[in-house]
């Protein structure tokens, strides 16, 4: 039997699937950005919403994916397809090296530490370390995806690639939620002492969340760099990390629809209200404050109780 | 190897100068129901926290089947088969009853690292088996009707049952109960007593802290009495009950309470 959430999800997927047929290229670009940022926000949600780790440096992983593709393509001439695997694996590796020493820190301390990593990351990019990152201007002239002599270079191609990436991400998160790993993250989030006492290795599962989140963010970064055929440091600064963090909390921690709504509000609405210029950010600031006061668990809060049907027999 | 499952030997635990546990020793036999009693603040919960790895005692040994486990991580202790409940209930209160109990299956689940992302046939089998076990436990503890209810929405008595079900889901060898009857009414306490007997009959060794003397005396085969972190008496219920030192400690502690 289909529940309401799955129906909404399918309706949304169908809508997103046909979206390119109805809009001009400007809106198509907005749509693509939404898809890419939704993937990043979902990957932030694995760390923040599920494992409950106050991580405010997610733009690092997003940026690592983008720069990996950019550097390998622009500096070393690798085809985009060949950069995909490294764009996922390098953020995962960096996540492990960067987070393993600080994973035991309490929420607020860890938050500051992750912001520190983000600041260092931007410094490294701007200082053109090893002459690879292109300094403050970044890198441009990134190729498009080519396969069997075809060029996937149009906006529509970009859109559908991002669409597939979002679909894959949602699938992974669904699998995660239905596994021992996703549940362990929730248990740690809700009560770390109780989780430990049930035999859950807190460190392992927090790192698992980080590494998985970093890999997905890296994939989104790779796609982002191809979409704009350029990368530059300011797209991956602390402000961006704050945005991803905020999306999760405003939309609803650990709630897939919540995070998608959050992404829509933070990235698509600003596009729709362009004529209001900067005044729109005032509205968003107020909206963020109001959400936290009125709906502290987010616009669409997570609902637990996702258990096999045979266990619901006795429920009255 | 000794016939004792758990041996606590000359354990001391300090909190900034306060001696919470003072040179405490005790031995728990396999299959026993072992009681720990003592006035408020005696150090009973601290002892359980030392056994389960939440605290590391400064002095002494905690031997599990002859091996020192002092200072091990709590999750390592749980993996050994030592599971507990908490004096102040610690459930995952936003999550459903079934999901709470499922946390006890964590150490029994055989899912591999990649099953967090990709399901495999072995994953489906494992997942199903664990949920079935959760179903059995919900039946045993009369919780089936609350399967999807958030644990935090339920009454105190029911929450205590969920906590026990969760610990039991891990198929422990030693079950540690910190005041399981606290906050229960008379009927619930009676039911709990029967439940604990059934758990013992499954072959689980039980250690419990309890203030309900009637329950302790009827259930426990052996009792250690603690006051100010130190053992003041031990023995079978009938002995401990009439030990003048124990009676003195309880009366004395009442007076202390009045002074405050
Ligand atoms: N984390 C801690 N830090 C400092 N002191 C502590 C800590 N935990 C316990 N204590 C102190 O250690 C002593 C023993 O406390 P404990 O909780 O073990 O008592 P208890 O015997 O379980 O009492 P009760 O019957 O009230 O539950 C108390 O004086 C308490 O204040
Ligand atoms: Mg206590």
DSSP of A47-111: IIIIS------HHHHHHHHHHHHHIIIIIT---HHHHHHHHHHHHHHHHHHHHTTTTTS-HHHHH
Q: Are residues B97 and B68 in the same domain?
A: no
Question: How much is the pLDDT for B239?
Answer: 94
Would you state the torsion angle of the CA atoms of residues A281, A285, A291, A293, taken in this order, to the nearest 10 degrees? Answer: -160
- B12 inside domain: yes
Interface touch A201/B75, C-beta < 8 Å: yes
- What spacing in Å lies between the alpha carbon of B104 and ligand 1's midpoint? 26
The pair of structure tokens assigned to A219 is 């994939």
Please indicate whether, in this complex, the C-beta atoms of A314 and B116 are within 8 angstroms of each other: no
| Ligand index nearest the alpha carbon of residue B22 | 1
Which ligand number lies closest to the CA of residue B230? 1
> Which range, of A5-9, A276-280, B32-36, averages the lowest pLDDT?
A276-280
Query: Containing domain of residue A217, as a range?
Result: 4-237
In a domain, B190, yes or no: no
Query: Long-range contacts made by residues A7-10, C-beta under 8 angstroms, separation at least 24?
Result: A8/A257, A9/A170, A9/A256, A9/A257
Q: How do residues A278-311 score in pLDDT, each as one tens digit?
A: 766 777 788 788 888 999 899 888 888 889 989 9
Of B131, B152, B172, which marks where a domain is finished? B172
Dump pLDDT digits (tens) for B182-203. Answer: 989 999 999 999 999 999 999 9
Residue A287: predicted pLDDT: 78
Burial readout B16-52 (b: 16 or more C-beta within 10 A, e: otherwise): eeeebbbebebbbeeebbbbbbbbebbbbbbbbbbbb
Q: What domain range includes position B240?
A: 1-42+59-72+221-245
Our count of domains for chain B comes to 2
- A vs B, Cβ pairs < 8 A, gives 141
Q: Do residues A103 and A207 lie in contact, with contact meaning Cβ atoms separated by under 8 Å? A: yes
pLDDT at residue B210 greater than cutoff 60: yes
Report the atom number in ligand 1 closest to the C-alpha of B226: 21
Asked whether residue B93 falls in the same domain as residue B152, the answer is yes
- Tell me whether residue B66 is exposed, middle or buried, using C-beta atoms within 10 angstroms of its C-beta: 0 to 12, 13 to 18, 19 or more: exposed
- Is the pLDDT at B237 greater than 60, yes or no? yes
Residue of A nearest to B79 (CA): A199
Q: Is A311 on the interface with B (CB under 8 A)?
A: yes
How far does the CA of residue B222 sit from the closest CA of chain A (Å)?
Answer: 25
Full-model pTM: 0.93
Helix axes B156-169, B121-140, angle to 10 degrees: 140
The answer to whether residue A290 sits within a structural domain is no
Has residue B125 been placed in a domain?
yes
What is the three-class DSSP state of B63?
strand
Same-domain check for residues B17 and B98: no
- Within 8 A of A304 by CB-CB distance, chain B residues are 94-96, 99, 150
CB distance B229 to B43 below 8 Å:
yes
- Do residues B86 and B109 share a domain? yes
Distance from the alpha carbon of residue B90 to the mean position of ligand 1, in angstroms: 17
Is the domain of B67 the same as that of B111?
no
Answer whether residue B226 is part of any domain.
yes
One domain, residues B111 and B152 = yes
Please give the pLDDT value at position B253.
Answer: 59
Where does chain B have alpha helices with state H?
44-51, 74-80, 97-102, 121-140, 156-169, 186-201, 213-219, 237-242, 244-259
Q: Flag whether A64 is in a domain.
A: yes
User: In total, how many domains does chain A have?
Assistant: 1
Decide if A308 is inside a domain: no
Provide the pLDDT for residue B260: 35
State percent of chain B over pLDDT 70.
96
> Angle between the B186-201 and B156-169 helix axes, to the nearest 10 degrees?
10
Do B95 and B151 reside in the same domain of the chain?
yes
Specify if A218 maps to a domain.
yes
- Spell out which residues of chain A touch residue B106, defining contact as CB-CB under 8 Å: 180, 183-184, 187, 198-200
Over residues A210-248, the pLDDT tens digits come to 999 999 999 999 999 999 999 999 999 999 999 999 999
């Amino acid at each position: 039997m289909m529940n309401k959430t799955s129906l909404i999800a399918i309706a949304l997927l169908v809508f997103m699937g046909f979206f390119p047929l109805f809009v001009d290229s400007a809106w198509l670009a907005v749509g693509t950005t939404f898809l890419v940022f939704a993937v990043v926000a979902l990957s932030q949600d694995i760390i923040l919403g599920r494992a409950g780790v106050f991580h405010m440096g997610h733009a690092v992983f997003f940026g690592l994916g983008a720069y990996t593709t950019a550097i390998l393509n622009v500096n070393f001439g690798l085809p985009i397809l060949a950069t995909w695997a490294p764009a996922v694996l390098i953020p995962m590796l960096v996540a492990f090296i960067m987070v393993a020493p600080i994973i035991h820190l309490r929420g607020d301390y860890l938050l500051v530490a992750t912001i520190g990593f983000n600041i260092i990351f931007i410094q490294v990019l701007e200082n053109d370390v090893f002459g690879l990152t292109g300094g403050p201007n970044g890198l441009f002239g990134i190729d498009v995806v080519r396969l069997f002599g075809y060029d996937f270079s149009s906006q529509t191609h970009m859109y559908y690639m991002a669409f597939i990436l979002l679909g894959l991400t949602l699938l992974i998160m669904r699998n995660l939620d239905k596994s021992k790993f996703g549940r362990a993250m929730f248990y740690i989030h809700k009560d770390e002492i109780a989780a430990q006492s049930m035999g859950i290795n807190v460190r392992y599962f927090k790192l698992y969340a980080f590494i998985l989140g970093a890999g997905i963010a890296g994939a989104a970064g790779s796609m982002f760099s191809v979409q704009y055929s350029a990368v530059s440091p300011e797209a991956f600064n602390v402000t961006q990390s704050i945005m991803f963090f905020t999306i999760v909390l405003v939309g609803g921690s650990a709630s897939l629809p919540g995070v998608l709504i959050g992404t829509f509000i933070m990235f698509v609405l600003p596009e729709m209200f362009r004529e209001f210029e900067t005044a729109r950010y005032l509205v968003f600031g107020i909206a963020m404050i109001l959400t936290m006061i009125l709906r502290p668990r987010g616009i669409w809060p997570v609902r637990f109780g996702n258990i096999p049907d045979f266990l619901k027999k006795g429920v009255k | 190897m000794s016939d004792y499952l758990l041996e606590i030997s000359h354990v001391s635990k300090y909190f900034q100068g306060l001696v919470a546990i003072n040179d405490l020793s005790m031995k728990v036999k396999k299959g026993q129901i072992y009681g720990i009693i003592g006035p408020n603040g005696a150090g009973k919960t601290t002892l359980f926290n030392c056994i389960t790895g939440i605290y590391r005692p400064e002095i002494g040994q905690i031997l599990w089947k002859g091996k020192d486990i002092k200072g091990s991580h709590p999750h390592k202790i749980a993996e050994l088969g030592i599971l507990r409940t908490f004096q102040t209930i610690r459930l995952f209160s936003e999550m459903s009853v079934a999901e709470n109990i499922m946390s006890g299956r964590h150490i029994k689940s055989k899912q591999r690292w990649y099953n967090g992302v990709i399901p495999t046939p072995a994953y489906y089998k494992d997942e199903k088996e664990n949920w079935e076990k959760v179903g059995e436990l919900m039946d045993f503890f009369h919780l089936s009707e609350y399967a999807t209810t958030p644990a935090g929405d339920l009454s105190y008595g029911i929450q205590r049952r969920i906590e026990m079900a969760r610990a039991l889901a891990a198929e422990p060898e030693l079950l540690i109960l910190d005041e399981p009857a606290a906050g229960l009414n008379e009927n619930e306490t009676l039911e709990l007593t029967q439940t604990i007997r059934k758990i013992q009959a499954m072959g689980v060794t039980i250690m419990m802290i309890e203030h309900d003397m009637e329950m302790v005396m009827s259930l426990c085969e052996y009792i250690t009495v603690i006051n100010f972190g130190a053992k003041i008496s031990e023995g079978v219920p009938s002995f401990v009950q009439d030990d003048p030192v124990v009676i003195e400690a309880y009366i004395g502690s009442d007076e202390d309470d009045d002074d405050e």
